[in-house]
Amino acid sequence: MNTLEEQIKQLIIDSLGLEDIGIEDIDTAAPLFGSEGLGLDSVDALELGLAVQKAFGFTFENDSTALRAHFYSVKTLAAFVAAQSKK
């Protein structure tokens, strides 16, 4: 069975069309955005946000500061998704 972090990594790959990488290539703790991590941009953020909402069945609050923190890494996104699923 896949862990939530692995599911999110696969969701990132599938929703953003990252065909050249596998889940093992994505560092769970590395930043998703900016030059240090995966290097995703604002368009990727929108696409990933929609994919996460669709895959896990919830909508985001309008607090952009909190969303940035939740989308920092696969680890922080998995923690956020897990917390949402307990609501």
What domains can you pick out in the chain, each with its CATH number?
Answer: 11-85 (1.10.1200.10)
Angle subtended by helix axes 4-16 and 42-56, to nearest 10: 130
d(CA 67, CA 62): 8
* Interval 25-38: pLDDT, tens: 999 999 999 888 89
Q: Are 38 and 12 in contact (CB under 8 A)?
A: yes
pLDDT, tens digit, for every residue of 51-80? Answer: 999 999 988 877 777 888 999 999 999 999
This prediction has a pTM of 0.89
